[in-house]
Structure 1
Amino acid sequence: MKNKITKAFFLSVILAIFGSCTNDELTPYYDQRKREIGKVAIHGYNALNDSIQMTVNGKLIEIGKDKNNTAFVKKIEKDYDFVFFNDEVKTLVITNKKTSQILGTYLFTNQTPSSALYFYAKEDLYIDDVSFLKAGTLTQTGTAGFKFLFPSLNKYSGSSYQGTLDGIITKSNGQVLGTVKNISKDAPSDFIEFPFSTPAAIKMELVKHGTKESYITGQKVIVALTMTNNKSKQIILEEKQDANGKFSGVEGVINLADFFTF
């Protein structure tokens, strides 16, 4: 009988305490927080010799539903859903899996719940600005277009020239098709468009802006290119070195327009 009275007493105390609380006080803190859904559409291309990994606030992003598959290679198209609580910030980090080198870091908040992320990763090259990746828009049919970006400018050539470059584009017979201006390592060049014709092989001479003088003293720099009918290209120019580490020329092989659809 005594135990029953004791239990009844403690029960009445507990009920009295909870009865004095408001509904807000009874609601768990977790549920009080403002909850919003967000999404980032990730579009990338991994041309590294190894895979890349992506984390959000330290948690690995998985490929599909396989928790053990977190290594992304080649073309990457992934939609990732966020759950924002209050003004929480989500930090997305892209790394080289082999070296753990951080390639890019991005912050997302509920101020922009739906976002898109584009990037291209290659050895010693990481580009993640849409304006850097997107090719120019052709204005008419029967033409070919080009924009250029030169991230490795002066890397191997050792040129002291720090200005922008122009590219004088000619056909194999010497006919000048046009001059593209403001080629640099920091921003896409101006867009150039000209009529397509065969043969499709063309070449571009790199010169100091506003001149016909090579950006490397005493050495003409020619880049081999190919034009494609009704196609605009965003070409990455790369300084190359030979087996002895000496500058060997400039290549324009990578066309970013091959990897992305905007």
Structure 2
Amino acid sequence: MKNILTRVLIFWVSLAFFASCANDELTSLYGNQTDQPGKVVIIGYSALNDSIQITVNGKPVEIGKEKRTAFVKKVEKDYEFVYHGDEEKVFEFTSKTTKELLRTYRFTAKKTKDTLSFYAKENIWLDNIVSLKPGVLKQPGYNGYRFIFPTLNLYSKTGYTGKLDGIIRKLNGQLLGVVENIGKDQFSPFIEFSFSSPPTIIMELVKHGTTESYITGKKVTLNMTMSVNKSKLIILEEKKDANGAFAGVDGTLNLTDFFVFK
């Protein structure tokens, strides 16, 4: 009887051993491959109409205590796993309803701990958000800005591919400053000036190094609101009218409203 119990115990221990080795999220206990623990910190915000699903090598990522497989708006997730040998981890972001592949990211054991951060909106997807740095205000009572323009030419169709400058004035026409080199892919240098009332300011967009509008024959301006002791990261957006034609530029989208920057 004792021998029978011993054989049964050995059988179940062996079964548990092989089952654990088959789990992709656990470290293999045999073989010649080198296994390493991996971690990707996901930090993002989606303003898209549809929810987003994340898969890693085809497996859905569960989010939150509810273990949801899709999210809207803010997402924060420490995703931990094991790199088996030189295995690549492929993160795919997909629209839940349309199944459109929105973004693909690839990670390897060359960097076992990494961060994936993004901001998503219709026609906009910005990566490496947490690496951004809002400008540091030099003294109290100031406000400051950095700008990016990912939808430049989306509706205006100008064909202009250079950088833009932003000429910033108060409502009475007083010049506050000029921010240079606003582009599609990187944030501009930092500009700051003292806060004053009324807080509304006007920025005119021109071709870099000139006073010429980036849209031939059309002056392009947008209103912004100063906030005392605030440093903003503004995403400029071209807008369209009901017919799909260019209708102006909006500058109200501020990344510091969605992320905490260190």
TM-score, normalised with respect to structure 1: 0.84
1:202-226 Cα offsets, whole Å, 9 max, x none, are 1100011111111111111001111
- Structure 2: which 5+ residue stretches go unaligned? 1-21, 23-27
Aligned partner of 2:73 in structure 1 is 74
- For 1:56, the equivalent position in structure 2 comes to 56
Question: Which structure has the larger Rg over C-alpha atoms?
Answer: 1
| 1:170 counterpart residue number | 169
The alpha-carbon deviation at position 30 of structure 1 amounts to: 5.5
For 1:110 and 1:101, locate their aligned partners in 2 and report how far apart those are by CA, in whole Å: 28
Q: Show CA shifts across 1:184-234 (max 9, x none).
A: 112211211111222211110001111111111111100111111111111
Amino acid at match of 2:78: D
* Residue 170 of structure 1: how far off its partner (Å): 0.7
Map residues 1-262 of structure 1 onto 2, 5 A cutoff. 31-32=30-31, 33-64=33-64, 66=66, 69-130=68-129, 134-262=133-261
CA drift at 1:103? 1.9
Q: Per-residue deviation at 1:183? A: 0.8
Kindly state the Cα deviation for residue 119 of structure 1 after the two structures are TM-superposed: 0.4
Structure 2 residue aligned with 1:12: none
Q: Residues 163 and 131 from structure 1, CA distance in 2 versus in 1: closer, same or farther, beyond 3 angstroms?
A: farther
Q: Who is 1:14 aligned against?
A: none
Partner of residue 13, structure 1: none
Q: CA deviation at 1:35?
A: 2.0
Q: Could you tell me whether the CA contact under 8 Å between 2:39 and 2:79 is conserved in 1?
A: yes
Q: Name the CA distance, whole Å, in 1 between partners of 2:156 and 2:240.
A: 8
Residue 179 of structure 2 aligns with an amino acid whose one-letter code is V
Counterpart of 1:47, as a letter, is A
Deviations 1:117-147 (A, max 9, x none): 1101111211113388543232332211111
Shift of 1:65: 5.2
TM (norm. structure 2) is 0.84
SS in 1 for 2:161: coil
- SS of equivalent to 2:233: strand
Q: Does structure 2 conserve the Cα–Cα contact (< 8 Å) formed by 1:167 and 1:205?
A: yes
Distance 2:162 2:173 in 1: 26
Q: Contact (CA 8 Å) 1:131, 1:188: kept in 2 or not?
A: no
Gapped runs of 5+ residues in structure 1? 1-27
Relative to structure 1, the CA distance from residue 134 to residue 117 in structure 2 (aligned partners, 3 Å threshold; closer, same or farther) is: farther
Residue 144 of structure 2 aligns to which amino acid in structure 1? G
Task: Specify the SS of the correspondent of 1:257.
Answer: helix
Cα pair 2:89 2:107 within 8 Å, conserved: yes
Paired with 2:78 and 2:90, the residues of 1 have a C-alpha distance of 15
Measured on the aligned residues, the alpha-carbon RMSD in Å equals 1.9
Aligned mates of 2:132, 2:234 — CA distance in 1: 9
Name the structure 2 match of 1:15: none
CA contact (8 A) 1:127 1:133 kept: no
